[in-house]
């Protein structure tokens, strides 16, 4: 029988340090200068948990909270969040009435969206707070340059009827993670021109906003009145080729931890996991980690199947995943180290604690750290640290 160190803890947990989120937002506020900070909490706060992360962000001084889908903004209102909330992604037939009733700032990139919002405002008898989005080069949402004056005029018409208040003009960067890329300069110029056009036609915006995390940290000339920071709020670097989180005053909030489900000795030449993409080269101990792709561990993190395997801290040393990641479990090769079932392993966390990082995982899985933290499944319990320090 394998020795084990047990206890009543869950076999795996996503741990979120709310103080880190609070402090990261405070750091972003300091760097944003006169601009306000919107903490972007879409995607369940990048996997950190919508309500706890939003509370920590507010404690750090985020005067705005932003989501993509309206459902998340409504969930924040329902949880008691006052203050400015913005939801920017919509589809035809959106629940505009709910948005207006909950006093959520909304966005339009097309005239038909302005018309839907105006109709809902007429029905509720309340004015909608509207941000107009221009495509300055991302090629995703936002009105193309040619459609911008028409969109502005449609919004001003609805404003004249007392149905909307055009409070924001905004856009989004395509390549801010490469701060010196000429596209950034071109987008700032296009945005400034779009703002001038809107102002010349009569818009008096409360906030002009363009910067994401990368631009907040690296491109101070893009801050305008409000920055929309997501990844940096959670303590990850949006410019991993330029700066690690600690270099820009951030610390990661999330760590993913598990307890070894089994440790066993196997001889040399033993195939490991489906497909036998890893074969032991000596007698060794294998450690079984009870997390898999159903939990959000990317199968691209497999070792020996085209890549070196994502890193895991186990028994005081960083090791690489051995063989394929399965639906609920994967394996690491522990050698002859004194490691036991029940011992804690860390998939990623804080480099300052010697733990692999979400960025390390992103590189091993050929993706971005955004995707690594966002994908951990609800079936893994979230453990929050630092609630008591939020006020």
DSSP H or E segment with residue 15: strand 12-17
Residues 137-176 that bind ligand PLP (CB under 6 A): 172
140 marked among binding-site residues: yes
- Beta carbons of 64 and 37 less than 8 angstroms apart: yes
Q: Smallest gap, in angstroms, from Cβ of residue 358 to ligand PLP?
A: 13
Residue 54: HSE in the Cβ half-sphere, 13 Å Cα cutoff:
28
88 belongs to the binding site for ligand PLP (CB under 6 A):
yes
Q: Smallest gap, in angstroms, from Cβ of residue 269 to ligand PLP?
A: 46
Binding window for ligand PLP (CB under 6 A); candidates: 8-16, 72-80, 108-116, 224-232:
224-232
Report which residue's Cβ sits closest to ligand PLP.
230
**Residues involved in catalysis:** 42, 274
Separation CA 240–CA 342 (nearest Å) = 34
Binding window for ligand PLP (CB under 6 A); candidates: 22-30, 229-237, 273-281, 338-346:
229-237
Q: Which residues of 343-379 are buried (b: 16+ CB within 10 A; e: fewer)?
A: bebbbbbbbeeebbbbbbbbbbbeebbbbbbbebeee
Separation CA 331–CA 291 (nearest Å) = 10
193: exposed, middle or buried (Cβ count in 10 Å: 0-12, 13-18, 19+): middle
231 belongs to the binding site for ligand PLP (CB under 6 A):
yes
213 belongs to the binding site for ligand PLP (CB under 6 A):
yes
User: Among residues 136 and 273, whose Cβ is nearest to ligand PLP?
Assistant: 136
Strand arrangement of the beta sheet that strand 164-170 belongs to: 84-89, 64-69, 36-40, 226-229, 207-209, 164-170, 128-133, 106-108
User: Among residues 42 and 257, whose Cβ is nearest to ligand PLP?
Assistant: 42
254 marked among binding-site residues: no
223 belongs to the binding site for ligand PLP (CB under 6 A):
no
84 belongs to the binding site for ligand PLP (CB under 6 A):
no
Number of residues that bind ligand PLP (CB under 6 A): 12
DSSP 224-263: TTEEEE-GGGGT--S-TTT--GGGGT----EEEEEE-SEE
Q: Smallest gap, in angstroms, from Cβ of residue 163 to ligand PLP?
A: 24
Q: Smallest gap, in angstroms, from Cβ of residue 162 to ligand PLP?
A: 28
Residues in contact with ligand PLP by CB under 6 A are 40, 88, 172, 212-214, 228-232, 238
Annotated binding-site positions for substrate: 140, 327
């Amino acid at each position: 029988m394998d020795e084990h160190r047990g206890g009543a803890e869950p076999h795996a947990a996503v741990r979120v340090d709310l103080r880190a989120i609070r402090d990261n937002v405070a750091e972003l506020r300091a760097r944003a200068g006169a601009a306000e900070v919107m903490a972007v909490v879409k995607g369940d706060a990048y996997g950190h948990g919508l309500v706890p992360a939003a509370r920590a962000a507010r404690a750090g001084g985020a005067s705005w909270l932003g989501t993509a889908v309206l459902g998340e903004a409504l969930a924040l209102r329902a949880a008691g969040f006052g203050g400015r909330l913005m939801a920017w992604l919509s589809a035809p037939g959106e629940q505009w009435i709910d948005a207006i009733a909950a006093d959520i700032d909304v966005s339009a990139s097309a005239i038909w969206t302005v018309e839907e919002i105006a109709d809902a405002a007429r029905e509720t008898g309340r004015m909608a707070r509207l941000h107009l989005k221009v495509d300055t080069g991302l090629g995703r949402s936002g009105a193309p340059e040619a459609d911008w004056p028409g969109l502005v005029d449609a919004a001003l018409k609805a404003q004249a009827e007392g149905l909307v208040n055009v409070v924001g003009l905004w856009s989004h960067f395509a390549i801010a993670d490469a701060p010196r890329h000429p596209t950034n300069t071109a987008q700032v110029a296009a945005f400034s021109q779009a703002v001038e056009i809107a102002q010349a036609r009569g818009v008096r915006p409360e906030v002009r906003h363009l910067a994401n995390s990368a631009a907040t940290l690296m491109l101070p000339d893009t801050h305008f009145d409000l920055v929309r920071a997501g990844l940096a709020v959670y303590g990850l670097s949006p410019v991993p080729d330029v700066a690690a989180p600690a270099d820009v005053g951030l610390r990661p909030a999330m760590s993913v931890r598990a307890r070894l489900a089994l440790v066993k000795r196997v001889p040399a030449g033993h195939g490991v996991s489906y497909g036998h993409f890893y074969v032991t080269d000596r007698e060794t101990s294998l450690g079984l980690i009870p997390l898999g792709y159903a939990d959000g561990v990317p199968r691209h993190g497999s070792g020996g199947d085209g890549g070196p395997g994502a890193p895991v801290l186990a028994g005081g040393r960083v090791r690489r995943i051995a063989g394929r990641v399965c639906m609920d479990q994967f394996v690491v090769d522990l050698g002859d180290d004194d490691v036991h079932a029940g011992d804690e392993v860390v998939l990623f966390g804080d480099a300052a604690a010697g733990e692999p990082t979400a960025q390390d995982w992103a590189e091993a899985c050929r993706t971005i750290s955004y995707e690594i933290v966002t994908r951990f499944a609800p079936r893994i319990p979230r453990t929050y640290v630092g609630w008591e320090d939020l006020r």
